[in-house]
Amino acid sequence: MEASKSSYSLQKTLTDPVFVSLLASNVLLIALFYTDNSKASTIIITYYFQSVLIGFFHVIRMGSLRNFDPSNFKVNGKPLQNTSKAKWGSVVFFMLHFGMFHFMYLIFLAVMMSEIPGRVDFLLLLGTLVAIIIGLIVETKEAIHYDRAKPPIMATLFFSPYLRVVPMHIFIILGFTNFKIETFIYFLLLKTATDILGYFIFSRRLKQVPTPFGQGF
């Protein structure tokens, strides 16, 4: 019975348009880079600004919480309380901490850009970021409704954007002093892995709450 459930779950995942498009876009990105690495600068800068935008919209989501599960989250060694003060304290800390990471990344990337293949295609960058912003607006609106239907675990919500820190961190560590094409391949593979992990975290959350489509804020 368990094997049958697992098989059904795997089949459902592999036929989910969101998962398929996510995997396909990452595989395509790796294939394109492998055949032509001149877009490397554009890819890494796009990823950076996407992370910044995700952090911004995550702040909006956290600030919109009416209720949350404080379990498994401690502040100064004390369990987090389900209060407005604790919520806004978490929001401010996230802004400062996540923002600090990306401020440092910006400095490192500015130094590394001369070593990364290709020039930034600003038209492609702008078009991609517009699409990302539209997607994040829709996703954040839906997430806020899910959070109100079933209050999220603050610890999970707080740390989930940090998945994106891992590929950038590894990319900078491996490529800062001696950039190689292989470094960028590792970055793309890590990006793919974190995107898929993020998908499973979000899809698991969706199974626990009613669908909010058609509702307003």
* 215 within some domain: no
pLDDT for res 102? 95
* 29 within some domain: no
* 97 within some domain: yes
Q: How many domains does the chain have?
A: 1
What average pLDDT score do residues 179-206 get? 80
Q: What is the pLDDT of residues 171-183, one digit of tens each?
A: 888 887 777 778 8
* 107 within some domain: yes
* 128 within some domain: yes
SS3 of 167-186:
HHHHHHHHHCCCCCHHHHHH
**Sign of the C-alpha dihedral, residues 191, 196, 197, 203?**
positive
Q: What is the end-to-end Cα distance of the chain in Å, rounded?
A: 41
- Which residues form the domain of 193? 41-206
Look at residues 141, 152, 131 and name the one whose alpha carbon lies nearest to residue 80: 152
pLDDT for res 26? 83
- For tokens 């892995």, what's the residue? 193
* 8 within some domain: no
* 76 within some domain: yes
* 142 within some domain: yes
pLDDT classification of 204: cutoffs 50, 70, 90: low
Tokens of 190: 């890590």
CB 212 within 8 A of CB 149: yes
CB 121 within 8 A of CB 45: no
What is the separation of C-alpha 76 from the centre of its chain, rounded to a whole number of angstroms?
A: 27
Alpha helices in the chain, H assignment, sequence order: 2-14, 17-35, 40-63, 84-112, 122-149, 154-159, 165-175, 181-206
CB 91 within 8 A of CB 63: yes
Q: What is the pLDDT of residues 54-101, one digit of tens each?
A: 999 999 999 999 999 998 888 777 888 999 999 999 999 999 999 999
pLDDT classification of 213: cutoffs 50, 70, 90: very low
Nearest-angstrom CA–CA distance, 105 and 162? 13
